[in-house]
Structure 1
Amino acid sequence: MSALRFKLLRTCRDRGNRMRNARRATREMHAERSKGKSLRIAEVLGTLVAVLTVASLAVALWPSGVWPRQEGELPSPKVKVESNIIASGVETRYYVSRPIDQLTAPVGAEACSEELGDWLESDSIRGVPIGDHIRAYLTSERPESMVITGINVKARKLDLPARTVATACEGGNGIVVRGASIVVDKIPFELQFYDEDAKEIDSLRINIGKGDAAEINLVVTVSTPGSVYEWTGEFEVLIGGEEASIPLRDGGKPFRVAGPPSREAKTWVHPDYR
């Protein structure tokens, strides 16, 4: 009896040990699973923080002018220039380097015509207008408002002989409406703004919305007789509250303008006025 009882007791003890070992193994397995799950959560959170950090840096460093990202760069405002002063009805004269006996107007190029102006400004004649009347049309497709606040001009004198003054159109001097008069050989250059009624104003503030266009008229002159200058300009603007400038060029090149005729220059007039 005692041997049998000892055997039964040992069997019960062994069974109890196995149950305790099984429970311990189960607890360890659950602990390992919890630890692995915590590590995976930590890895995911770390990756998410890194992505958000990179995105924040990209937003901070991205240039403001190229929003929105998914639509590419926003278009820059554009300037279209018309420099045909014959069409404006003002008196039109050009300084020409050619002698007077080498000037013969093309057939069909009547006085005050666009054809006559194109001939005088062609590469073969290279006439320089004595005073220029420029119409500039500014447009913008940006979603922000654009405000034209002013004009900046740079000019330099050219060493260009002026042998002849060619009169292409006889008329008045005209007036400046919604724009400015600029004398480019003054230091600093003289500039006067005008409103829609040709009245003098202190500053030029024209608001342009998306798809709108604004016409700016510029009368550009030189005060020194017989001198020729080339010049470029920039429209000063605010785009969405940010300062910017828009180049003003003659087809990508500087404009040229001449002063009043010198005493030595000969005078050529279109046959319509003879």
Structure 2
Amino acid sequence: MVRASGPAHQRLEGPVRTVALVGGLVAILGTVLGAVVAWPDDWWPRHLPEPKIYMKDVEYGSSFGVPVAADALNHPPPDVRFACADRTSAWLRSVGGVPYWVSVEFVLTTERPESVVVLGLTPHVRRITSPPLRTDVQGCGVPTALIQERSAEFVVDSQPPKLEMTDERGRSVDRMGLNLGKGEAADFKLEAYAEQTGGVYEWTVDLDLLVGGEPKSLTLSDRGKPFRIAGALPDSAPSVNLPARLQDGFTHCREHPQDPSC
């Protein structure tokens, strides 16, 4: 058999070469797209990270309103030994108790290339009817300390809810006006309480931001749920004085913070 040659054979080379070239380009493009899809976010972020709130500490105070009779608190669990300790606070919350004071410390961080401006805080409050609180549990009072962070004092039952902010120097401010760049962080502290007796409230606070000139907000909450706070019960309510029943524990817990009773 004689193989075809000449002009006819040469005419076939052009289309074949074109198809091969297009196939090669498609293969290269597929490889590049696959690499982009699989590229780790920390090498080349496909989506810019949003600013984040990290909770440092939440304190619930040691004075509570609880929905049980005073007699129900006569026999605390064996590990509830100290009047003013986190374990005791957790026990009171487990029986439905609502604190009279809450302190939240948190950090705002950003990895955005553009600036993040902290404008201020917007509170959201809802009064709730349950649980009906029956007994006043007296603790050790509200701890006092020198506040070095940017802070806010939040009165949940004022109309409208009152939120007074101070900067890191302790000066009263209407707006935070704090500007964060990539990799920077800012500490905040918020203390909340109710001034009137008897009410129970759910609350969250929005941290108002400008991210690259666009308004955004981050919500400060109790692990995705609203915080709860109560106004102190009236003097006529049954009362339990925990410091008179339990050990003080202040020195012990300071020296032994890993003790489960602290």
TM-score (norm 1): 0.66
Cα RMSD (Å): 2.5
SS at match of 1:83: strand
Pick from 211, 236, 239 the counterpart of residue 267 of structure 1: 239
- Deviation of 1:199 (Å): 3.0
Q: Which deviates more from structure 2 when the two are superposed, residues 223-232 or residues 205-214?
A: 205-214
Residue number in structure 1 paired with 2:229: 257
Runs of at least 5 residues in structure 2 that lack an aligned partner in the other structure? 1-43, 249-262
One-letter amino acid matched to 2:135: T
Residue number in structure 2 paired with 1:135: 105
Residue number in structure 2 paired with 1:150: 120
Closer, same or farther in 2 for the Cα pair 1:189/1:171, shift >3 Å?
closer
Contact 2:115 2:180 in 1 (8 A): yes
Q: Number of paired residues?
A: 200
Contact 1:175 1:198 in 2 (8 A): no
> 1:211, 1:169 → 2: CA distance?
39
> 1:100, 1:158 → 2: CA distance?
22
Residue number in structure 1 paired with 2:36: none
Closer, same or farther in 2 for the Cα pair 1:260/1:175, shift >3 Å?
farther
- Deviation of 1:231 (Å): 1.0
Residue 221, structure 1, aligned to residue 193, structure 2:
yes
> 2:145, 2:153 → 1: CA distance?
11
Residue number in structure 2 paired with 1:80: 54
Closer, same or farther in 2 for the Cα pair 1:266/1:208, shift >3 Å?
farther
Please show how residues 104-119 of structure 1 align to structure 2 within 5 Å.
104-109=75-80, 110-119=82-91
Pick from 137, 145, 156 the counterpart of residue 184 of structure 1: 156
Q: Which deviates more from structure 2 when the two are superposed, residues 215-224 or residues 195-204?
A: 195-204
- Deviation of 1:106 (Å): 2.4
Please show how residues 192-207 of structure 1 align to structure 2 within 5 Å.
192-207=164-179
> 1:194, 1:209 → 2: CA distance?
21
> 1:260, 1:170 → 2: CA distance?
12
- Deviation of 1:173 (Å): 4.8
- Deviation of 1:129 (Å): 1.1
SS at match of 2:205: strand
CA distances 1:235-274 after superposition (whole Å, capped 9, x unpaired): 0011122211011111000111111322332222222369
CA distances 1:60-117 after superposition (whole Å, capped 9, x unpaired): xxxxxxxxxx62222222212332244xxxxx31111111111133223322222112
TM-score (norm 2): 0.68
Residue number in structure 2 paired with 1:165: 136
Structure of higher CA gyration radius: 1
- Deviation of 1:226 (Å): 0.6
> 2:146, 2:127 → 1: CA distance?
26
Answer 1 or 2: which has greater helix percent. 1
Runs of at least 5 residues in structure 1 that lack an aligned partner in the other structure? 1-69, 87-91
Contact 1:221 1:258 in 2 (8 A): yes
* Percent identity between the two aligned chains: 34
Displacement over 6 Å in runs of 4+: none
Residue number in structure 2 paired with 1:67: none
